[in-house]
Amino acid sequence: MLLTLLRRHLPHYTLQVGIVLVLLLVQSIANLYLPNLNAEIINNGVATGDTAYIVRTGSLMLAVTLVLALVAVATAYMASRVAQGVGRDLRGSLFTRVLSFSAREMDHFGTPSLITRNTNDVQQIQMFLQIGLMLLVSAPIMAIGGVIMALHEDVHLSLLLVVIVPLMAAVVAVLLSQAVPLFRVMQVRLDRVTQVLREQIMGVRVIRAFVRVEPEAERFERANADLTGTALRVNRIFAAAFPMLMGIMNLSTVAVLYFGGRLVDSGDMPIGNLTAFLMYIMQILMAVLMAVGMVIFVPRAEASAERIADVLDTVPAVTDPARPREPTGATGAVTFRDVTFGYPHGDRPVLQDVTFELRPGETMAVIGGTGSGKSTLVKLVTRAFDVSGGVLEVDGLDVREQSRERLWSRLGLVPQQAYLFQGTVADNLRFGRADASEAELWHALEVAQASDFVAAMPGALDAPIDQGGTNVSGGQRQRLAIARALVKRPDIYLFDDCFSALDATTDARLRAALRADTAGAAVLIVAQRVSTILHADRIVVLDEGRIVGLGPHAELMRTCEPYREIVESQLGEAAAA
């Protein structure tokens, strides 16, 4: 998954990655050249007592060292560009992809998880790339370069590598095959511990109310013991692996001296080469160790890559048609024709055979029990979901044949959860129409019964709003959300149970003002309070996904038993008498 993701995003940085590779190659060559020069100092300087040669070659070594440092800095530069660049690209792709999601994908992933994926997970990939480009890539170069140089020093002695390298490879392979899966398990168990703790904090009242402290403690102890057990195993594997690799490395130097001594004695190899050979072996093994050290980053990066790819590979359930059509006229009508909707794997459809038409200038209300599908109606109009059966038309054309942008431009939505964005009051009001004038904003606020409290806020229209709108009360939030939809001046309004936090007086005044302001537009109101919908032109009564009544209040009171039940429950038995 990690590789797939990188294969998709690294090609934009082919040049930079290429430069990194070249720079690393130069680095390795310079690194490998140093022992060579050292060997020459011993062979030609030390062994013969030529101090001038020693100083001369020493200066050359110093120069190589300097080049090495400059190249390393350049590598760091390029690697940072690539790692941070890929991160930036991933964030961009994720963000735009999520914006194209429908409600189904949003529900599937959940907002917090999507945010984590765009931030933490991308950071993991960045860190992996940053370190990977500087260490992981240079490890094989150093290892291969070391082998080549060792061969160059002495072919016979290099036969030692035939034993050492596979031995190390075997140790590393065993280590990886053991440790990597354990790392994955550990991550899962760590998440579990965090989750239990989080639930104990968030649910402290419930836990204590139900006297569940002890079962919770047991639940945690299990999670903690699981985590500790896995962490211990991982650490013990590494506790064995590193001394083993070190041991192999140290014993290799012994072997080099043992066999090399014979070669030197027979005059087949100068003694300086022996020292150089030791350095190369050291370098090869260091490279291997470095690569092993990188291993711990892999499972994390892998898991993050998977979570990122999950999002990027998700095709939204709702998409624009290949060839969008324009409706012949912007009539502002919303027509449900035998609409059925169900969630995949759901036992029964949420909506079944729903047929009604909302005409321009008409206010239609929807009432019904929880799970009756009220809010789903609104979500179908906005194409948060698509119908499973039947046809839903806006402006006389199937919504699935229109471009979503076009459809959305026709709609004014006030959702159940009044969400406000971080920014000023004005920013929020202009959300749907950036060029709305201040006078228009104030007008919308008047209608939404929000002008008084906005005027009283420090800065009025420029008053800051916190993320989500948490710095204003629930009722104020709902009124601002209504004003936001009004500023957009759409032909079709969708009010999804958005009057619930208003007191009765405000609710009544707001509805009166709305009626005047939205005259000519088609208005769909989903509500729970009977008083909110009493005066709608027509009322749709939903029960378990089916329309059980459709008509004005007075008519429904006579003909629709479920409707009467609702009214009675709210207004008392007397009402029905």
For residues 243-272, which are near another protein according to CB under 8 A? 243-247, 249-251, 253-254, 257-258, 260-262, 264-265, 271
Handedness of CA 284, 286, 290, 295 (dihedral sign): positive
* By CB under 8 A, residue 9 contacts another protein: no
- Both tokens assigned to 330: 């912007």
Helix (H) or strand (E) holding 101: none
Phi, psi (rounded to 5 degrees) for 385: -130, 160
* By CB under 8 A, residue 206 contacts another protein: yes
Candidates 3, 159, 232, 519: give the one binding another protein (CB under 8 A): 232
From 138-146, 388-396, 430-438, 450-458, give the range in contact with another protein by CB under 8 A: 430-438
Number of residues that bind another protein (CB under 8 A): 192
Using the minimum distance from each CB to another protein, give the nearer residue, 367 or 454.
Answer: 367
Please choose, from the candidates 243, 195, 200, 247, the residue with its C-alpha nearest in 3D space to the C-alpha of residue 223. Answer: 195
In angstroms, give the least distance from the CB of 443 to another protein.
18
- Both tokens assigned to 332: 């502002």
Using the minimum distance from each CB to another protein, give the nearer residue, 254 or 439.
Answer: 254
In angstroms, give the least distance from the CB of 197 to another protein.
5
In angstroms, give the least distance from the CB of 169 to another protein.
17
What part of residues 113-172 is at the interface with another protein (CB under 8 A)?
113-116, 118-121, 123-124, 126-127, 130, 134
Q: From residue 504, give the alpha-carbon distance in Å to each of 133, 144, 478, 511.
A: 64, 80, 14, 11
Residues in contact with another protein, shown as a per-residue x/- string from 390 to 429 under the rule CB under 8 A: --------------xx--xx-xxx-x---x-xx-------
The residue with tokens 């070249």 is 22
In angstroms, give the least distance from the CB of 59 to another protein.
8
Instruction: Considering only CA atoms, give the Rg of the chain.
Output: 36
- How far apart CA 472 and CA 431 sit, in angstroms, is 18
Candidates 12, 156, 222, 236: give the one binding another protein (CB under 8 A): 236
* By CB under 8 A, residue 34 contacts another protein: yes
Classified as helix, coil or strand, 139 is: helix
* By CB under 8 A, residue 199 contacts another protein: yes
Number of CB atoms found within 10 A of residue 137's CB = 18
- How far apart CA 329 and CA 352 sit, in angstroms, is 29
Candidates 224, 314, 340, 471: give the one binding another protein (CB under 8 A): 224
In angstroms, give the least distance from the CB of 15 to another protein.
16
Candidates 15, 18, 95, 181: give the one binding another protein (CB under 8 A): 95
In angstroms, give the least distance from the CB of 568 to another protein.
8
What part of residues 550-569 is at the interface with another protein (CB under 8 A)?
553-554, 557-558, 562, 565-567, 569
* Contact of 396 with 331, CB cutoff 8 Å: yes
Residues in contact with another protein, shown as a per-residue x/- string from 35 to 74 under the rule CB under 8 A: ---x--xx--xxxxxxx--xx--x--xx--xx-xx--xx-
In angstroms, give the least distance from the CB of 550 to another protein.
16
Using the minimum distance from each CB to another protein, give the nearer residue, 220 or 356.
Answer: 220
Number of CB atoms found within 10 A of residue 564's CB = 17
What part of residues 275-334 is at the interface with another protein (CB under 8 A)?
275, 278, 289, 293, 296-297, 299-300
Q: Which residues contact 100 (CB under 8 A, 6 or more apart)?
A: 316, 319
Using the minimum distance from each CB to another protein, give the nearer residue, 8 or 212.
Answer: 212
What part of residues 172-191 is at the interface with another protein (CB under 8 A)?
183, 186-187, 190-191
In angstroms, give the least distance from the CB of 173 to another protein.
17
Residues 400-413, buried b or exposed e (16+ Cβ, 10 A)?
Answer: bebebebbeebbbb
- How far apart CA 18 and CA 23 sit, in angstroms, is 9
In angstroms, give the least distance from the CB of 535 to another protein.
10
* By CB under 8 A, residue 16 contacts another protein: no
Side chain identity at residue 543, one-letter code: D
* Contact of 414 with 485, CB cutoff 8 Å: yes
* Contact of 109 with 311, CB cutoff 8 Å: yes
- Both tokens assigned to 448: 């939404």
In angstroms, give the least distance from the CB of 337 to another protein.
22
What part of residues 99-118 is at the interface with another protein (CB under 8 A)?
99, 101, 103, 106-107, 110-116, 118
HSE, side-chain direction, 13 A CA sphere, residue 197: 8
What part of residues 449-508 is at the interface with another protein (CB under 8 A)?
467-468, 484, 488, 503-505, 507-508
Instruction: Give the largest CA-CA distance in the chain.
Output: 122
Using the minimum distance from each CB to another protein, give the nearer residue, 50 or 353.
Answer: 50
Beta strand 522-526 with 492-496 is: parallel
* By CB under 8 A, residue 572 contacts another protein: yes
First vs last C-alpha separation in the chain: 67
In angstroms, give the least distance from the CB of 454 to another protein.
19
Candidates 2, 143, 234, 533: give the one binding another protein (CB under 8 A): 234
* By CB under 8 A, residue 512 contacts another protein: no
For residue 277, is it left (φ>0), alpha (ψ between -120 and 50) or beta?
Answer: alpha
In angstroms, give the least distance from the CB of 441 to another protein.
15
Candidates 8, 151, 178, 220: give the one binding another protein (CB under 8 A): 220
HSE, side-chain direction, 13 A CA sphere, residue 121: 23
What part of residues 343-372 is at the interface with another protein (CB under 8 A)?
343-348, 350, 367-372
The residue with tokens 């053991």 is 178
Give 178-214 as a DSSP string. HHHHHHHHHHHHHHHHHHHHHHHHHTHHHHHHTT-HH
In angstroms, give the least distance from the CB of 357 to another protein.
21
Q: How far is CA 29 from the centre of its chain?
A: 41
